[in-house]
């Protein structure tokens, strides 16, 4: 994650009223292999999690990234407090215990202890986690790299062939082996089609931090760099149908959406991010996010735009690719 400035704030532009209009999205967290709550029925797999080190934490974002062991396996666990939703306020006020901390004139502070079901913590587990996962979640200094079309061929491409994350989770989604019940929309066409589903960073409890990804059926497009005008129909299809689906399902119009691709992505199978405009999603900064509408226009103007163009992106200090750019004297 290049950008660690994720925040769950409303930008005060009215997404709140939208979230009131919109029905709560159905199907809160399910893992694609079973229904929500299944894990708790079969026991708490984290009960014997042994912490090795805290990779990163943030008081402002209210999350913590932990590296540790689950049995014999390396694991990364991410705990995150989620936003307080308006629709649970009545229950929160009536059903909680309130402990007074201090009172002074008209001011008082309390510790409010809500019922357990209103106090859930979004938890993501990566197990077995590779060294690359551990590095991905560690707070690290970043450096901006300049990559020409030639650099991509001679430095980046050989590196991603050897080193990139497995995209097995993507194939599981496309083949309905995981998260099938979370799919929000599918165009099954093998050339132009895609699957749209909630990103696992989104708990689907409120649309203020809406985050979906569109994953293309085609398996031969690694990233932005592979795109040419040949892919315009595919990109337009994703843009159009993605926006329509999000409007229908969540009541969020295109003017409230940020639709973009990452370069570099973590996973080299083409996918498009759809996030709520008011949500500063991790990685939505200009150094990594490329608006889909700009990508479409650039390819219309120059069919080989992304083959030839110098692209900039941040790499973390411990990223092997950064070492290759240094060795090649490109940094």
- When asked if residue 314 is in the footprint of ligand M7G (CB under 6 A), the reply is no
- Sort 303 into a burial class: Cβ within 10 Å, 0-12 / 13-18 / 19+: middle
- Sort 37 into a burial class: Cβ within 10 Å, 0-12 / 13-18 / 19+: exposed
Max CA separation in the chain (angstroms): 69
| Phi–psi pair at 171, nearest 5 degrees | -65, -35
- When asked if residue 200 is in the footprint of ligand M7G (CB under 6 A), the reply is yes
CA angle 17, 23, 29 (to 5 degrees): 115
For residues 212 and 241, is the Cβ–Cβ distance under 8 A? Answer: no
CB of 122 vs ligand M7G, minimal distance in Å? 12
Residue with smaller CB distance to ligand M7G, 1 or 46: 1
Residue with smaller CB distance to ligand M7G, 64 or 118: 64
Residue with smaller CB distance to ligand M7G, 179 or 187: 179
Of the candidate residues 283, 295, 296, 311, the single one contacting ligand M7G (CB under 6 A): 283
- When asked if residue 124 is in the footprint of ligand M7G (CB under 6 A), the reply is no
DSSP state of 217: S
With CB under 6 A as the contact rule, which of the stretches 44-52, 83-91, 192-200, 243-251 interacts with ligand M7G?
A: 192-200
Residue with smaller CB distance to ligand M7G, 16 or 203: 203
With CB under 6 A as the contact rule, which of the stretches 110-118, 194-202, 233-241, 321-329 interacts with ligand M7G?
A: 194-202
Site for ligand M7G in 147-186 (CB under 6 A): 169, 179
Coil vs helix vs strand at 280 = strand
- When asked if residue 31 is in the footprint of ligand M7G (CB under 6 A), the reply is no
- Sort 287 into a burial class: Cβ within 10 Å, 0-12 / 13-18 / 19+: middle
**How many residues belong to the site for ligand M7G (CB under 6 A)?**
13
Of the candidate residues 197, 224, 252, 257, the single one contacting ligand M7G (CB under 6 A): 197
Of the candidate residues 199, 287, 302, 318, the single one contacting ligand M7G (CB under 6 A): 199
Site for ligand M7G in 262-281 (CB under 6 A): 262, 265-267
What is the C-alpha R_g of the chain? Answer: 21
Nearest to 211 by CA among 117, 285, 278, 121: 278
Residue with smaller CB distance to ligand M7G, 288 or 324: 288
- When asked if residue 201 is in the footprint of ligand M7G (CB under 6 A), the reply is yes
C-alpha torsion 239→251→275→81, nearest 10: -160
Residue with smaller CB distance to ligand M7G, 3 or 120: 3
Please report the DSSP string for 237-271 in residue order. Answer: HHHHHHHHHHHHHH---GGGEEEEEESS-SS-S-E
- When asked if residue 92 is in the footprint of ligand M7G (CB under 6 A), the reply is no
Looking at 67, 239, 269, 271, which residue is catalytic? 271
Residue 324 annotated in active site: no
Q: What amino acid positions are annotated as catalytic residues?
A: 271
> Where do contacts with ligand M7G occur on this chain (CB under 6 A)?
1, 169, 179, 197, 199-201, 213, 262, 265-267, 283
């Amino acid at each position: 994650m290049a950008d660690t400035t994720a925040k769950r704030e409303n930008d005060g532009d009215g997404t709140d009223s939208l979230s009131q209009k919109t029905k709560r999205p159905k199907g809160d967290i399910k893992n694609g292999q079973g229904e929500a709550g299944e894990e708790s029925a079969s026991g708490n797999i984290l009960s014997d999690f042994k912490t090795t080190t805290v990779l990163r934490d943030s008081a402002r974002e209210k999350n913590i990234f932990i590296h540790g062991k689950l049995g014999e396996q390396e694991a990364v666990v991410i705990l995150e407090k989620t936003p307080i939703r308006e629709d649970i306020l009545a229950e929160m006020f009536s059903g909680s215990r309130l402990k007074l901390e201090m009172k002074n004139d008209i001011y008082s502070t309390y510790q409010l202890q809500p019922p357990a079901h209103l106090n859930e913590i979004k938890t993501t587990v990566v197990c077995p986690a590779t060294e690359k996962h551990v590095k991905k979640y560690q707070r690290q200094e970043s450096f901006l790299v300049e990559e020409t079309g030639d650099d991509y061929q001679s430095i980046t491409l050989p590196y991603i062939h050897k080193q990139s994350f497995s995209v097995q989770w993507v194939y599981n989604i496309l083949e309905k082996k995981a998260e099938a019940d979370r799919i929000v929309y599918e165009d099954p066409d093998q050339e132009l089609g895609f699957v749209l589903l909630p990103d696992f960073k989104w708990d689907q409890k409120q649309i203020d931090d809406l985050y979906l990804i569109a994953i293309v059926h085609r398996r031969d497009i690694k990233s932005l760099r592979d795109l040419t005008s040949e892919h315009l129909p595919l990109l337009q299809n994703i843009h159009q149908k993605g926006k329509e689906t999000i409007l229908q399902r969540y009541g969020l119009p295109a003017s409230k959406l940020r639709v973009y691709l990452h370069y570099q992505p973590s996973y080299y199978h083409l996918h498009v991010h759809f996030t709520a405009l008011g949500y500063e999603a991790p990685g939505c900064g200009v150094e990594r996010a490329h608006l889909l509408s700009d990508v479409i226009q650039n390819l219309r103007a120059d069919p080989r735009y992304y083959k030839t163009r110098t692209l900039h992106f941040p790499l973390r200090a411990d990223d092997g690719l950064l070492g290759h750019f240094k060795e090649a004297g490109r940094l």
